[in-house]
Amino acid sequence: MENNVLAARFRSVVNGHLATPMLLVALLAMVILPLPAFMLDMLFTFNIALSLVIVLASIYMLKPLHFAAFPSILLIATLLRLALNVASTRIILLEGHTGTAAAGNVIEAFGEFVIGGNYAVGFVVFAILVIINFVVVTKGATRIAEVSARFTLDSMPGKQMAIDADLNAGLIDQDEARRRREEIMQESDFYGSMDGASKFVRGDAIAGILILFINIIGGFIIGVAQHELTFAQAAQYYTLLTIGDGLVAQIPSLLLAAAAGLLITRSTKEQDMGEQIIGQLTSNPKTLAITSAIIGGMGLIPGMPNIPFLILAAIGGSTAWYLHQRQKAATAAEIAAQQPQQETPREQRELSWDDLSPVDPIGLEVGYRLIPLVDKNQGGQLMNRIKGIRKKISQEMGFLIPPVHIRDNLDLAPTAYQITLFGVTFGEAEVYPDRMLAINPGQVFGALDGINTQDPAFGLDAVWIETSQREHAQAQGYTVVDVDTVIATHLSKILNNHAHDLLGREEVQHLLDNLAKSAPKLVEGLVPDTVPLGTVQKVLQNLLEENIPVRDIRTITESISEQAARNPDPEAITAATRMALSHSIIQHINGTSNELPIITLDPELEQILLKTLQASGEGGASLEPGLAENMHKNLQEVTQRQEMTGDAAILVVQAGLRSWISRFIRHSIPGLNVLSYNEIPDNKQIRIVANIGR
C-alpha cells in the first residue's frame, strides 16, 4: 500500500510539476554532454515516431481547436530535433574518421540504404526535401497561419454580436453564450500561436541547410588535418554521415510542417478529415465519370502506356456508376418517405364537431424546401430554437406562451414561411436555406456579393451570402446568422410585440391558481366577488401591450383588489397598477441608474391635449392634423437622438394624457416609453433632455 501511494505521488509530481523542467534539462544534456551512438539511435527513432503521431493526430482531429496544444508541441519537437542535430554533429566530427557507423545505425542506414551510399544522390535528395519543406509546405503554412490569425481577430466583433443576438432572441442561454465566447477567445489564441509557431518550422528548415554545410566542411577539415585521412576517404565518411544526419532530421521536419499545414487549413466543421475529403470529392459522380472518360481516351492513343490508363479509367468509371446508383436509391427512398400512404377506400362517416380543428394560437407555416429545418430526422434545429424562444419569453413576460404549431403549406413559395396568431398572418418572408444572412448593424467596411434583402425581424439592410463568405462578412462588420436564426428571431419579435394577444382567460386563471398556492388570502374572493375575470385579463393585457411583464402577479393582484373597490374601470385599475409597479417599470426601461433622462411636453401643449380629450372623450380624441404631425415629428427626432447616445427615451406627461399618447405613438415610435408623473419613484433624479412644444 505504501509503495502504491509513493508511486502515485511520484507520478503526480512528475506529471504536474517536473515534466517541463525535466524536458528542458534533457535537451540541455543532449546539447552539452556527448551521447553514445545507441542513445542517438533511440532518440532519432523517437523523433520520427513523434512526428508521425503528430501528423496522424492532426488528421483525425475533428476541428483545429481540439488540438489547441499543437503550437507548444511543435516548439518542443523543433527544440528536440535541433538538440539532436547538435549531439549528432558532435559525434560526427569527433568519431567520423572511424567510418560511416560512427554516429549510430540510424544515420548509417539513411546514408547507405536510402541514398545507396552515393553522396551525390544524397545531396540531390536532401536538396529536394529542403525545397519541398522550406519553399512549399512551410512557406504555405506560414502564410495561411498569418491570414487566419488576421481574419480571426477581425471577425471577433461580428461573432460577439451574433452571440449577443442569439442570446437576446432566446435561442441560447447564458451558459451557451459563455461557452461560445470562450471558444472565440480560444480560437483567437490558437491561430495567433500558430502564426508564431510556424516561424519555428521555417527557421528549423534554414538551420538544417546551415548544419549540413558546417558538418561537411568541418568534417572534411578535421578528417584531413587531424586524422590524416585522404581527400576521398574524408569526403566519403563525413559526407555520407552528414547527409544521413540531414535526412534523419529533415524527414521529421517535413512531417511536422505537413501537420501544421493540415491543421491550419482545416475547416471549423466538426468532421474527420478523411470523411470530409472523400465526401466532398465523391459528392458528384459526374466529375469522376468525366475524368475516367478522359483517362480512357488517353489510354487509347497509340504510344501511350495503355494498360495503366485503361485500368484507372475502368476503376474510376465503375466507382462513378456505383456512386450514381447509391445517390439514386437514396433519393427514391426520401421521396417515398415523404409521400403519404394511400388509404384504402372506406365508407365516409358522418361529420361531427371533432372534425372542426381549432385555430392555433401560434402557427408557423413553411414551404416544402424548409421542411428539413424543422425535421429532427434530417438534422433540423429550428424546433429546439423555438422551444428556447418560448421558454425565454415566458420567463420574461410572466405567463406561459402557447406552443407553436408548425405545418407545411404547399400554397407558399418553396423557401417562404409565414407566422400566424389565431389564424391571422403577422409576419412572412422568403429565405434561402443554403445561404446565410449578413445583416448590416449600421457600420460596415465594405459590400458583399449576394442577394440584397432586409432582415425580416427588424427591417435592417442585409445580404444573403454563400456559407463560404461567412468569415469575410464578419471581418467586414456584418452580423452573420443562419436561416434557423432568421426565422427564430422573427418569431421572437412577433411574440414579444403581441404577447397581450396571447394572454387568454385560461392563462389568467393559471396565474391566479399559482398565486393561490403561496398567497391564498390574496386570491380568495377576488374573482368574481371583487372583480370579474375579464377585468383582470384586460388589466394584464394593458400592461403587456406596453411591454410591462406580469411576473410580479402578487403586486398586480393587490393593486387590482384595492382599486376595483373604488373604481372598477379597467383603465383606472391599469393606471393604479402601473403606479404600484413603478420601480419595476423604471428598472425595465432605464436599468438601475439613479438619474432618469425624461422628455416633457410644453404646459400649453398639455392643456390643449387635455381640453381635446375632455371635449371628445378619451377614446375618440382627434387633434388638428398640423399639430399632431408636428408633435409626432418632434417626438421622433428626440427619440432617435436618445437612442444614438445610448439613453432611454422616456416621455413624462400628466396622468390623464398618458394612456392616449401611448396609443398615439405606440406603433410609429416604438422606442419611446410614455410614463405619467405619478409613476416616477421618489428616489430617482430627473434630468430633462427635451421639451416638446406646439
Are 395 and 316 found together in one domain? no
pLDDT at 540 over 90: yes
Q: Is residue 341 part of a domain?
A: no
Q: Report the distance separating Cα 649 and Cα 634, nearest Å.
A: 13
Q: Report the distance separating Cα 36 and Cα 43, nearest Å.
A: 11
Where is the domain boundary, 561, 580, 599? 580
**pLDDT of amino acid 167:** 72
Q: Which of 88, 112, 89, 90 is nearest to 100 (CA)?
A: 112
pLDDT tens digits along 430-463: 999 999 999 998 788 888 999 999 999 888 899 9
Where is the domain boundary, 243, 269, 295? 269
Q: Report the distance separating Cα 386 and Cα 485, nearest Å.
A: 10
Predicted confidence band of residue 342 (pLDDT cuts 50, 70, 90): very low
Which DSSP state fits 443? -
- The distance of Cα 432 from the centroid of its chain, to the nearest Å, equals 19
Decide: 266 and 61 in contact? Cβ < 8 Å: yes
Q: Is residue 571 part of a domain?
A: yes
Are 158 and 174 found together in one domain? yes
Q: Is residue 1 part of a domain?
A: no
What's the CA angle centered on 443, arms 442 and 444, to 5 degrees? 120
Contacts of residue 389, Cβ cutoff 8 Å, sequence gap at least 6: 169, 170, 171, 488, 491, 492, 495
Which CATH number do you get for residue 550?
Answer: 1.10.8.540
**76 or 640, higher pLDDT:** 640
- The distance of Cα 457 from the centroid of its chain, to the nearest Å, equals 20
Work out the average pLDDT over 533-562: 92
pLDDT at 16 over 50: no
Predicted confidence band of residue 279 (pLDDT cuts 50, 70, 90): low
Q: Is residue 467 part of a domain?
A: yes
Are 533 and 592 found together in one domain? no
**pLDDT of amino acid 544:** 92
Contacts of residue 584, Cβ cutoff 8 Å, sequence gap at least 6: 548, 549, 552, 555
Work out the average pLDDT over 499-508: 91
Are 561 and 677 found together in one domain? no
Residue that the C-alpha cell 406552443 belongs to: 403
Predicted confidence band of residue 1 (pLDDT cuts 50, 70, 90): very low
Q: Is residue 340 part of a domain?
A: no
pLDDT tens digits along 18-53: 666 777 777 777 777 777 777 877 887 888 888 888
Are 117 and 75 found together in one domain? yes
pLDDT at 331 over 80: no
Are 147 and 91 found together in one domain? yes
**48 or 541, higher pLDDT:** 541
**pLDDT of amino acid 282:** 64
Q: Is residue 198 part of a domain?
A: yes
Are 446 and 525 found together in one domain? no
Exposure of 455 by Cβ count < 10 A (0-12 exposed, 13-18 middle, 19+ buried)? buried
How many helices and strands (H and E) does the chain possess? Answer: 26, 12
Report the range out of 200-214, 481-495, 614-628 with the highest average pLDDT.
481-495
- The distance of Cα 637 from the centroid of its chain, to the nearest Å, equals 37
**pLDDT of amino acid 349:** 65
Q: Report the distance separating Cα 395 and Cα 597, nearest Å.
A: 28
Where is the domain boundary, 580, 599, 618? 580
Are 574 and 616 found together in one domain? no
pLDDT at 224 over 80: no
Are 562 and 613 found together in one domain? no
pLDDT tens digits along 397-410: 999 999 999 888 88
Q: How high is the mean pLDDT of the chain?
A: 80
Look at strands 461-466 and 424-430 and give their pairing.
Answer: unpaired
Work out the average pLDDT over 231-246: 73
Are 592 and 649 found together in one domain? yes
Number of folded domains in the chain? 5
CA distances 446 to 214, 443, 473, 646, Å, are 53, 9, 9, 25
Exposure of 116 by Cβ count < 10 A (0-12 exposed, 13-18 middle, 19+ buried)? exposed
Q: Is residue 342 part of a domain?
A: no
Are 595 and 575 found together in one domain? no
Per mean pLDDT, which range of 70-79, 277-286, 571-580, 685-694 is the poorest? Answer: 277-286
Work out the average pLDDT over 311-324: 81
**69 or 279, higher pLDDT:** 69
The whole domain housing 305 covers: 282-327
Decide: 79 and 281 in contact? Cβ < 8 Å: no
**pLDDT of amino acid 19:** 61
Q: Is residue 531 part of a domain?
A: yes
**pLDDT of amino acid 41:** 78
Per mean pLDDT, which range of 328-342, 639-653, 664-678 is the poorest? Answer: 328-342
Predicted confidence band of residue 2 (pLDDT cuts 50, 70, 90): very low
Are 307 and 373 found together in one domain? no
**pLDDT of amino acid 197:** 67
Predicted confidence band of residue 348 (pLDDT cuts 50, 70, 90): low
pLDDT at 420 over 90: yes
Q: Which amino acid makes up residue 654?
A: Q
